[in-house]
Amino acid sequence: MVLSSVLGFPRIGANREIKKAVEAYWAGKTSAEDLQKVAAEVRKTSWTSVKNHRVDFVPSGEFSLYDHVLDHSAAFNVIPQRYVGLGLTPLDVYFAMGRGRQSEGVDVPASEMKKWFDSNYHYVVPELSEETDLKLIYNKALEEFKEAKEAGITTRPVVLGPVSFLVLGKSAKSAQPGFRPISLLPKLIPVYKQLLSELKAAGAEWVQIDEPILALDSAAALEKEYTASFTELAPVSPKIMLTTYFSRLDSNVRFIAKLPVAGLHIDLDRAPDQLTEVANAVKNTPIVLSLGLVSGRNIWKTDFGAAIKLAQTAIDILGAGRVIVATSSSLLHTPVTLASENKLTAEQKDWFSFALEKAEEVAVIAAVLSGSQDASVTAALEANRVSINKRREFEKNSDDTVRKRVAAITPDQLNRKSPFPVRKETQAKHLNLPKFPTTTIGSFPQTKEIRQARAKFNKGELTKEEYETFIKKEIEHVVRFQESIDLDILVHGEPERNDMVQYFGELLNGFVFTQNAWVQSYGSRYVRPPIIVSDVSRPGPMTVKWSSYAQSLTKKPMKGMLTGPVTILNWSFPRADISREMQSKQLALALRDEVIDLENAGIHAIQVDEPAIREGLPLRRADWDGYLEWAVDSFKLATAGVTDQLQTHSHFCYSDFDDIFPSIQRLDADVISIEASKSDMKLLNTFKHYGYSNQIGPGVYDIHSPRVPGDQEIKDRLQAMLSILPDSLVFVNPDCGLKTRGWKETEASLKNLVAGAKWARQNY
Ligand code: GLN
Ligand code: ZN
């Protein structure tokens, strides 16, 4: 018998119940009790629907009101001092840690968030120190296991493993220099012992312990910690399914196979090639191998034929009794169900599987491998064969023009006509900018009025003409404001954009959009990534109308604004049939045409945002060079088609450049803007250290809060920056776009920013 399993389920609820309930609670519109009621309903619905698809191992305990890493911190008493003693309930402490709190005399900032491996999900970083008093204050896994049991469903509880929990954490500010979070392991193991033995006592047969760190290079140095942890935990725990995902085990498999666990899960969606090696490594142990065959990261229907073949390899080595068919990772990164999509065509719908459909996939694949003759299984297998064939047929419709263009890319197309120092001269004459030029990152406040107008236009309540007139008025307002405060390089403000990726996806060939395919980004923030389904091309200009209208209003240089190829790719569901590199290059060619059109329309500077270039970095260092090569080439391809006098800008919201610095230099953007107000000046030292040669605008204030930076504060910051960077290379700008801000603070902050730059011009 081959069993089936799902590693985790989306938390939002089929109708976004959790998002709505959590936000209503924050707004003070509902009680904690009501919130918990909604949460219990959503959990029950998820368990029931996964179970109804005949999945053997149904997950519990991974549900979260905000973030699962934060759940562990709260349960283990990893609560920074600043959240203690504020007179808040445990639930409010939990939310305060996630998102900060400003109310009734309480004013605490949120904890730091970080990207969850290479996904667009963000987790709340545990803060650890010698003082951390680790103890189990709430056994969430146990409570939800019991809750499911009462509902008649036996689940396999999920917990994040002790080593990954500590490695994902960071040293608290109060920690001694040199403190390493992993040094807390001996204190954390007793907490896990208690957690796991309580689960065992409650009747849990299995527990899924997630140790995603095991699929990273860094695990190689943690053999001792892993061995110690699992040697202590195994005797008191339910059977342990040690779970890895998003990458491959590589040489770590040597010690992993020796751990005293009952099962090991590997990701065969990301790393199918590891199967034989891992299966052979566990062959002479009692370990059951869980095969992550159904992608937890993408939305394409699983090819049953291919999955069955791969599983057969494992069965040949281990026997059917030691193989489980599973999702590759938690389904957290996929939308709930295809059933709520009414606008996709029948043909398109047939290509995809969302979380619920994936639950059915694991069950069917396992049934086939178990030799089931059940009519519904045979029918599902046949239906899958038909669907996959149809999709394969569709994939043959490649766009020859696009394919030929990609094949014909030359190194020449990647490089500007002259090197940066020459361009700098040309641009200085052409743009006539003062020293320390001021600019913004692109968007201005997306007000309620703007969102309402777009909603009305989408519902047909505004005509295209009425909507465009409205947008033009917004642009004019933004331009006049920037002129009035004397900014140097202006933007049009991006009022026409619903989202920096969706906007372009809707104007390009090759994308489809969903109505309900929400995926958690962080907390109650969900995104709806577009899906790339075929070759990408640009039917016509996408932004030229707006940028040239904005330019027509002013004599100051207008900066065109585009989202970069790597970011569009990373924030979409990509195709699975061609490489990411190919998709990125197709996007780059489409953007290249837009960039050239913008220059021809009289635009003087163009910014191509690539905030996701770092997030797309592969998890294994051995894969970095290959990725960075095509990612940087894509940016260059998009931006290098212009004359020397056009100033190219790029923007990144992050600042950890240390390990990819040469690639940032190789982008060869004339100006880059980066997040710098929250991080200390360490980052600028990196630029200095490597002798970064092009222009750079380190953000002088944080746009993520409504707080207005005083003008002295901005001067201080500029002073600090100018003590590190050469005067001739510095631009002055905020950290990121202003779309989430209100006008009031935007006006005040930007005025202070301009004042700061003017002060610097006089003093440097
Ligand atoms: N140009 C975009 C904006 O200003 C950049 C957004 C981003 O970096 N995430 O909103
Ligand atoms: Zn940004």
Indicate whether 544 pLDDT > 80. yes
pLDDT, tens only, 440-497 = 999 999 999 999 999 999 999 999 999 999 999 999 999 999 999 999 999 999 999 9
- Ligand 1 site residues, Cβ closer than 6 angstroms: 441-443, 500, 561, 609, 611, 651, 653, 736-737, 739
Ligand that lies nearest to the alpha carbon of residue 446, given by its number in the listed order: 1
Tell me the CA distances in angstroms from 78 to 95, 165, 375, 510, one per residue in order: 14, 11, 51, 46
Strand intervals (E) in 284-417:
288-294, 323-327
pLDDT, tens only, 507-530 = 999 999 999 999 999 999 999 999
Query: How far away, in angstroms, is 188 Cα from ligand 2 center?
Result: 37
In contact, 223 and 255? CB cutoff 8 Å: yes
CB count within 10 Å of CB 595 equals 24
Query: Could you tell me the two tokens for 538?
Result: 């640009």
In contact, 67 and 522? CB cutoff 8 Å: yes
- Cα(625)–Cα(674) distance, rounded to whole angstroms? 22
**DSSP characters for 387-436?**
HHHHHHHHHT---HHHHHHHHT--HHHHS-SS-HHHHHHHHHHHH-PPSS
Query: How far away, in angstroms, is 257 Cα from ligand 2 center?
Result: 43
pLDDT cut 90: percent of the chain above it = 94
What integer is the mean pLDDT of 343-370?
Answer: 98
Identify the CA nearest to 3 among candidates 58, 52, 45, 49. Answer: 58
Indicate whether 617 pLDDT > 80. yes
Indicate whether 654 pLDDT > 80. no
Which residue, judged by its Cα, is nearest atom 5 of ligand 1? Answer: 737
In this prediction, the answer to ipTM > 0.95 reads yes
> 3-class DSSP state for residue 269?
coil
Band (33; pLDDT cuts 50, 70, 90): very high
Q: Which of 53, 430, 477, 704 is catalytic?
A: 704
Torsion of CA 495, 501, 502, 507, to 10 degrees: 90
Element (H, E) at 527: strand 525-527
Band (106; pLDDT cuts 50, 70, 90): confident
Indicate whether 679 pLDDT > 70. no
What integer is the mean pLDDT of 328-348?
Answer: 97
Closest atom of ligand 1 to CA, residue 737: 4
pLDDT, tens only, 233-291 = 999 999 999 999 999 999 999 999 999 999 999 999 999 999 999 999 999 999 999 99
Query: Is the dihedral angle over the CA atoms 43, 49, 50, 55 positive or is it negative?
Result: positive
What integer is the mean pLDDT of 751-763?
Answer: 98
Band (653; pLDDT cuts 50, 70, 90): confident
Backbone Cα Rg of the chain: 27
pLDDT for the residue numbered 696: 96
CB count within 10 Å of CB 425 equals 12
What integer is the mean pLDDT of 723-748?
Answer: 95
Which residue, judged by its Cα, is nearest atom 6 of ligand 1? Answer: 737
Question: Which region among 56-60, 110-114, 631-635 has the lowest average model confidence (pLDDT)?
Answer: 110-114
Query: Could you tell me the two tokens for 464?
Result: 């295209």
Band (680; pLDDT cuts 50, 70, 90): low
Closest atom of ligand 1 to CA, residue 441: 4
- Cα(746)–Cα(447) distance, rounded to whole angstroms? 12
Q: Is 333 a catalytic residue?
A: no
Ligand that lies nearest to the alpha carbon of residue 571, given by its number in the listed order: 1
Identify the CA nearest to 19 among candidates 651, 519, 504. Answer: 519
What integer is the mean pLDDT of 190-216?
Answer: 98
Band (682; pLDDT cuts 50, 70, 90): confident
Identify the CA nearest to 326 among candidates 285, 363, 355, 286. Answer: 363
- Cα(39)–Cα(17) distance, rounded to whole angstroms? 8
